[in-house]
């Protein structure tokens, strides 16, 4: 970790470069002292729209003094911190969270903290989906969208801190906060297992007034997030980001981003999207349109026409995600005029049967047509995303992905083609949460690598081995906390996980239990069963059964 002097020097450097899109309100004398952290470098963290949104809200309140903290930089931190929050977007950043707690002289485990330590809270997609592997480290987890939940959290915290001193002990503060919908305090719940290394069978509350379940909070407005800071030091230099849609209406059965963030919401064109873009253009000429399925905004065509006006000829515009059957010559030519050279589409598989299994509503003609339209519109490259190891997949399905790429190459010979490919990883709160990682996934990636090389397609697979670690964290329970602490001591390599499992044998199930084994509905109580997301489990069971009907 950099020294405090190095951090302050780095912070001063990037503060000089930042262009703020909101007003930082000076905090009052009795303000809540808060540090809001991103467990990665400034360059990476400041590109997170979720991090920007929360920071701007905290910094805009006169009753909160908020300092930012990254792994390589920080603003001047208060001597006594009341709240330390983390935006948790990528599972493997857990090691940085532990390092940042240690650097601040805060015990890693919540049970070891006293009244002199801040409350550690966290939010973001990792914690919303399944906070249990990290539950030992967090006092408070915020489930869902931050727009309304943050205010409720702060008001509840301030209320309990202004109560008589005998109600301000750490356990009493957490019990009071747990009454707020969307606030999960892990220490108030004790998981129960059939044996130390057995299946989870239930969950016990420490008191009757602790809620049995915690429901994710959903923001339902039509003004979505936009950048609150623009910087040359961002991973995407000087980009101003506008959230066009939230969630995705397609509901691919493996997709956490769709299922956990439902319902699908869209930003209002005339009162949100266009005004936000105009605000961003005051400080930069680079606009990023974000969302899981941007082109499915009902007024995307009108937004595109607006951005194609001559006064925006200098603007560089990028689109985060494009549904395959919305790739038209009009769209691609508009993006080319705005500086885009390539486009990415998710096709998942060349097998029609597999696309039905995952609920990907695409025909082969849509995929080939997208390539033709991309070339006709003037794009230089097209990247397709696929996946191997999806439940029900056979080698014949993988061969059909090869055949599909041959068809795309033949239909659009002028395009530079890339196939990115991941291994299926089961995600909590999705219809595929009961399946494990297919051990054949690694061989199928190797097969695709060989075949893509023969037809001149750039193949970019994600690591199968690290996909298994991602699955471990995605499906894990609270028994993984000590294991992750041990892995960190061993160097955070994949071998470190095997070594830690061996050392802790008998105190938790083997690695394959979390990674590869299938746990059919009703076999055990899932680690996240007490956390309510957008859809009940019975609906997920129904969606899983629909997938199995195509096996």
Please write down the HEC assignment for all residues of 67-90: EEECCCCECCCCCCCCEEEEECCC
Each domain of the chain, given as residue ranges in start order, spans 4-215, 220-321, 340-548
Are the C-beta atoms of 126 and 89 separated by less than 8 Å? yes
Q: What is the CATH number assigned to the segment(s) 340-548? A: 3.30.750.200
What does each of the 551 residues of the chain score in pLDDT, given as a tens digit?
455 555 555 555 566 789 999 999 999 889 999 999 999 999 999 999 999 999 999 999 999 999 999 999 999 999 999 999 999 999 999 999 999 999 999 999 999 999 999 999 999 999 999 999 999 999 999 999 999 999 999 999 999 988 876 667 899 999 999 999 999 999 999 999 999 999 999 999 999 999 999 999 999 999 999 999 999 999 999 999 999 999 999 999 999 989 999 999 999 999 999 999 999 999 999 999 999 989 999 999 999 999 999 999 999 999 988 999 999 999 999 999 988 999 999 999 999 999 999 999 999 999 999 999 999 999 999 999 999 999 999 999 999 999 999 999 999 999 999 999 999 999 999 999 999 999 999 999 999 999 999 999 999 999 999 999 999 999 999 999 999 999 999 988 889 999 999 999 999 999 999 999 999 999 999 999 999 999 999 999 999 999 999 99
pLDDT number for residue 321: 81
Q: What is the CATH number assigned to the segment(s) 220-321? A: 3.30.750
pLDDT number for residue 4: 56
pLDDT number for residue 167: 61
In 10 A of CB 115, how many CB atoms? 8
d(CA 26, CA 65): 8
pLDDT number for residue 29: 86
In 10 A of CB 467, how many CB atoms? 23
Are the C-beta atoms of 405 and 484 separated by less than 8 Å? no
Of 396, 317, 384, nearest in space to 354 by CA: 396
Parallel, antiparallel or unpaired: strands 381-388 and 458-461: unpaired
End-to-end CA, the chain: 49
What 8-state DSSP symbol labels residue 139? Answer: S
pLDDT number for residue 163: 80
Sheet of strand 381-388: strand arrangement: 342-348, 381-388, 416-423, 458-461
pLDDT number for residue 10: 55
In 10 A of CB 259, how many CB atoms? 27
Of 497, 402, 384, 510, nearest in space to 453 by CA: 402
Contacts of 245 (CB under 8 A, 6+ apart): 224, 264, 265, 266, 267, 291, 292, 293, 294, 296, 297
In a 13 Å sphere around the CA of 89, the CA atoms on its Cβ side amount to 15
Are the C-beta atoms of 418 and 458 separated by less than 8 Å? yes
d(CA 417, CA 412): 9
Parallel, antiparallel or unpaired: strands 416-423 and 381-388: parallel
In 10 A of CB 365, how many CB atoms? 10
What 8-state DSSP symbol labels residue 394? Answer: -
pLDDT number for residue 141: 98
Burial status of residue 143 (CB atoms within 10 A of its CB: 0-12, 13-18, 19 or more):
buried
The number of residues in the chain equals 551
Contacts of 486 (CB under 8 A, 6+ apart): 496, 500, 503, 504
**Is 340-548 the same fold as 220-321?**
yes
pLDDT number for residue 49: 96
């Amino acid at each position: 970790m950099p020294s405090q002097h190095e951090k302050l020097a780095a912070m001063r450097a990037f503060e000089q470069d930042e262009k703020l899109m909101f007003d930082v309100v000076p905090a009052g004398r009795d303000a809540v002292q808060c540090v809001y952290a991103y467990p990665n470098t400034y360059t990476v963290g400041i590109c997170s729209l979720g991090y920007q949104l929360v920071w701007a809200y905290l910094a805009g309140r006169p009753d909160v003094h908020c300092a930012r903290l990254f792994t390589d930089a920080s603003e001047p931190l208060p001597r006594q911190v009341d709240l330390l929050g983390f935006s948790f977007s990528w599972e493997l950043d857990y090691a940085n969270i532990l390092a940042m707690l240690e650097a601040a002289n805060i015990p890693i485990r919540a049970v070891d903290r006293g009244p002199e330590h801040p409350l550690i809270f966290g939010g973001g997609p990792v914690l919303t989906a399944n906070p249990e592997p990290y539950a030992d480290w967090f006092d408070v987890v915020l489930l869902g969208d931050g727009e309304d939940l943050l205010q409720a959290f702060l008001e509840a915290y301030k209320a309990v801190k202004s109560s008589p001193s005998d109600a301000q002990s750490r356990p009493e503060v957490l019990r009071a906060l747990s009454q707020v919908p969307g606030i999960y305090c892990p220490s108030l719940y004790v998981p129960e297992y059939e044996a130390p290394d057995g299946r989870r069978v239930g969950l016990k509350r420490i008191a009757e007034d602790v809620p049995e379940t915690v429901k994710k909070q959903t923001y339902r407005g039509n003004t979505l997030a936009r950048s609150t800071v623009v910087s040359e030091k961002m991973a995407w230099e000087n980009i101003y980001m506008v959230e066009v849609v939230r969630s995705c209406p397609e509901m691919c059965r493996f997709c956490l981003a769709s299922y956990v963030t439902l319902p699908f919401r869209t930003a209002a064109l005339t009162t949100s999207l266009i005004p936000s873009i105009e605000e961003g253009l005051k400080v930069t000429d680079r606009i990023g349109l974000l969302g899981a399925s941007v082109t499915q905004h009902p007024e995307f065509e009108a937004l595109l026409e607006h951005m194609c006006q001559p006064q925006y000829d200098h603007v560089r515009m990028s689109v985060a995600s494009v549904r395959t059957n919305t790739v038209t010559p009009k769209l691609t030519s508009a993006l080319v005029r705005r500086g885009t050279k390539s486009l990415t589409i998710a096709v998942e598989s060349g097998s029609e049967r597999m696309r039905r299994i995952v609920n990907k509503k695409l025909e082969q003609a849509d995929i080939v047509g997208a390539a033709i339209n991309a070339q006709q519109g003037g794009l230089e490259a097209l990247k397709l995303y696929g996946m191997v190891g999806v439940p029900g997949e056979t080698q014949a399905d993988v061969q059909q992905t090869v055949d599909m790429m041959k068809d795309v190459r033949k239909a659009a010979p002028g395009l530079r083609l890339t196939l990115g490919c991941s291994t299926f990883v089961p995600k909590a709160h999705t219809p595929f949460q009961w399946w494990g990682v297919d051990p054949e996934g690694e061989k199928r990636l190797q097969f695709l690598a060989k075949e893509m090389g023969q037809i001149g397609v750039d193949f970019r697979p994600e690591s199968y081995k690290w996909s298994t670690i991602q699955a471990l964290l995605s499906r894990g329970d609270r028994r993984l906390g000590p294991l992750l602490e041990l892995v960190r001591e061993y160097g955070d390599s994949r071998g470190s996980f095997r070594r830690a499992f061996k050392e802790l044998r008998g105190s938790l199930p083997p690695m394959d239990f979390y990674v590869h084994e299938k746990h059919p509905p009703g076999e055990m109580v899932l680690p996240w069963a007490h956390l309510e997301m957008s859809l009940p489990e019975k609906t997920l069971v129904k969606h899983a059964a629909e997938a199995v009907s195509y096996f």
